[in-house]
Chains A and B, each alone.
With several copies, the nearest count.
Chain A
Amino acid sequence: MGKLTVRESISKGLYEAMDSNERCYLLGEDIGEYGGAYAVTKGFLDKYGEKRVRDMPIAESVIAGAAVGSAMGGLFPIVEIMTINFTLLAMDQIVNHAAKMRYMSNGQIQVPMILRTVTGGGGGLAATHSQNFEGWYANVPGLKVVTPSNPYDALGLMRSCIESKDPVIYVEHCLLYSVTGDVPEEYYNVPLGKSVVCREGQDVTIVTYGGMVSVCLEAADKLSEQGIEAEVIDLRSLRPLDIETSVKSVCKTGRAVVVEENWKTGGFGAEISSSLQENAFDYLESPIIRISGEEVPMPYSRKLESAAIPDASKVTITIKAMMEI
């Protein structure tokens, strides 16, 4: 068991992918000489050379599309799109091509590929660079979407993605790269579509994923000081989505809060909330509440940005109010 950062965990997963499969290659803007905008692929170019680590022109459409095509031709591409905001420029290739190919060809074609990208706000990058679109991708049959929240999962999920025969969007939250955690030396993996109870409790269930997990754990600690024991569930992947674990928890606690960074209206939190309601209706003691980012384009000002993103105190206040009802 050693300590790794999320960045190191992802890197480790990529090294394993590259070492175990000669057909695996990396492509993306500035992943080579520059080392990656978030330094995840630092050192890869030196180790694997230009054939397998490809710096791309700034052209997200053809980056994603070339990945799809090369997967059809037998390769295993791992693409980096620098941030999820820029995936909007590649969306047609992801949604209309990668996601459709296998189905539309009646299984003649498979598109094994991983598209890594960076989500979330909090870095002072303002409206065009602080968004959370993973929920949109999770709406699309034919894609898988994973959202690691810690080093253990980052590596474990990456290992499962490497096994996938279908396109996966691997979503890295911008504030998590330097977060450290225990990672076993021996091989393990984290299956897609299995959420995890990361803190047990019997009073209320908090369901969340990605960057919001630590916020919720912090809130749970605070609540605990006040005698409220929250169970915190990390979804880990949004598609396939494991709602069972959360349902079980809600059946126990009778209350649920869903926390996400994205805007509320039409956000993926609504999916969690409605699925819970559908499956745990008879156990609910109070309405399931969603805590989400404020519905504004992300402002640059630190003060406004902090106010726009859910934090532990918002979670605790909401839950305390809920418990009093």
Chain B
Amino acid sequence: MPITLDKQKALETYELMKLIRLFEEECASQYMRGLIRGFLHLYIGEEAVAVGAISSLNEDDYIVSHYRDHGHALARKLDPNGIMAELMGKSTGVSGGRGGSMHLFDVSKGFMGGYAIVGGQLPIAVGLATSIDYLSEDRVVMCFFGDGAVNEGYFHESLNLASLWKLPVVFVLENNLYGMGSHIDRTHATGHNLYLSADEYNIPATQIDGMDVLAVMETAQPLIERTRSGGGPVLIEANTYRFVGHSMADPGNYRNILEIEEWKTKDPISKFVEHALSQNIFGLDDIAVIDESVKQVVRDAVEFAEQSEDPEVESMYREIHG
């Protein structure tokens, strides 16, 4: 792990990952209570990808996410209150209670949406990058998608166009081995090493350990800068794993318990903590403080959300047309 973080940055990194973890666990509880409904896809186990990649961005870069978007939103520092309120369908939610878990938006943070059509966000990201290029803005778009999304025609069409026009897109492929219950070996012709697909489009690509937040940062930073300085799109494949089901409705019988256990030994949070402690970057006491504050943040978020109002029925027709 050649990259080193100063204490403040390291604590922040830990804090974000921990926040995501606890937030997601809380979501699961709220779902069981029936306060969150619909499809709920948790990011538990994948925290290092969002935090490593997103903390390497500038504030005005764009982010485009998928339906498993809480982690990205929290890493981008969207207000946890607003996210939780959104999950509970409240008017104070980041999308006014209209989008729900799969469709978080906060344009003020460059968070251009969670998208629930697999692969549908890829052309959107290419379009945002087109606007950056057209307007000569100093921005990039970071676009998250899963291994399953690689199989959609969208992947092909979007990478081709991004490369053809040398657009500032950082494609972040979160390869957690499964699209719902289907292992990539059963859905992609070349199985592992999906990043090699980028060759077809002349897009530089790298595969990294997505359980290691430092590895993610180390890879992401130069690639982002390359893209920012006009080098065209890049692709990062982060090998990761979700510790939980695809969604709360997942029967979960398609994964081997041993496989799950093995991946859990690579827990990105523990891994980072071990590293930081062993390098004396921060101490157990720092962790305790953060854990406490993060728990409070999550508790507050729930409280805020529960106390918020549902949208008025009369508001239903707002924002369809100008």
Contact = CB atoms under 8 A, between A and B. Distances in A.
B322 A72 contact: no
21 contacts: A29-B180, A56-B187, A57-B179, A58-B118, A58-B148, A62-B126, A68-B127, A69-B131, A72-B124, A73-B128, A97-B124, A104-B113, A108-B108, A126-B98, A126-B102, A141-B320, A294-B316, A301-B89, A302-B310, A303-B313, A304-B315
B38 A125 contact: yes
A275 interface: no
Given A33-B254, A35-B251, A108 B107 contact: yes
Nearest to B35: A302
Given A65-B122, A300-B103, 12 more contacts: A34-B181, A57-B188, A64-B123, A73-B131, A77-B127, A89-B152, A97-B124, A106-B97, A109-B105, A109-B113, A307-B313, A307-B316
Contact of B38 (A70, A104, A105, A126): A126
Contacts of A69: 123-131
Contacts of A277: none
A127 B310 CA distance: 17
Contacts, number: 268
Nearest to A130: B38
Interface in B244-262: 250-251, 253-254
B126 A65 contact: yes
B120 interface: yes
A55 B320 contact: no
A175 interface: no
Contact of B100 (A96, A101, A126): A126
Interface string A103-147: 111111110000000000001111111000000000001101000
Contact of B320 (A39, A96, A102, A109): A102
B181 A62 contact: no
A62 B154 contact: yes
B254 A34 contact: yes
Interface stretch (B14-22, B43-51, B157-165, B265-273): B157-165
A292 to B, nearest CB: 14
Contact of A301 (B102, B123, B310, B321): B310
Interface string A81-106: 00001100100110011000111111
Nearest to A166: B321
B182 A33 contact: yes
A300 B132 contact: no
Interface of A: 23, 25, 29-30, 32-35, 37, 39, 51, 55-62, 64-75, 77, 85-86, 89, 92-93, 96-97, 101-110, 123-129, 141-142, 144, 164-166, 240, 294-297, 299-304, 307-308
B151 interface: yes
Contacts of B181: 30, 32-35, 55
A55 B181 CA distance: 9
A33 B106 CA distance: 37
Interface residues of B, number: 74
A247 to B, nearest CB: 22
- 7 smallest CB-CB distances across A and B, nearest first, come from A69-B127, A65-B123, A73-B131, A34-B181, A106-B96, A300-B100, A124-B38
Given A70-B134, A72-B131, A301-B311, A103 B39 contact: no
B3 interface: no
Contact of B89 (A89, A141, A303): A303
A74 B95 CA distance: 20
B39 A165 contact: no
Nearest to A100: B103
A8 B71 CA distance: 37
Nearest to B116: A128
B23 interface: no
A308 B316 contact: yes
A101 B99 CA distance: 10
Contacts of A165: 321-322
Nearest to A106: B96
Given A33-B181, A108-B106, A123-B38, A72 B127 contact: yes
Contacts of A65: 120, 122-124, 126-127, 154, 158
A86 B188 CA distance: 20
A62 B98 contact: no
Given A108-B105, A109-B113, A127-B103, A300 B98 contact: yes
Interface in B104-150: 105-108, 112-113, 115-120, 122-132, 134-135, 148-149
A246 B161 CA distance: 46
B33 interface: no
A142 to B, nearest CB: 6
Interface string B285-322: 00000000000000000000000001101011111111
Contacts of B2: none
Nearest to B101: A300
A126 B69 CA distance: 15
A166 B322 contact: yes
Nearest to A163: B322
B161 A66 contact: yes
A299 B97 contact: yes
B90 interface: yes
Contacts of B166: none
Contacts of A127: 98-99, 103
Contact of B97 (A97, A240, A296, A301): A301
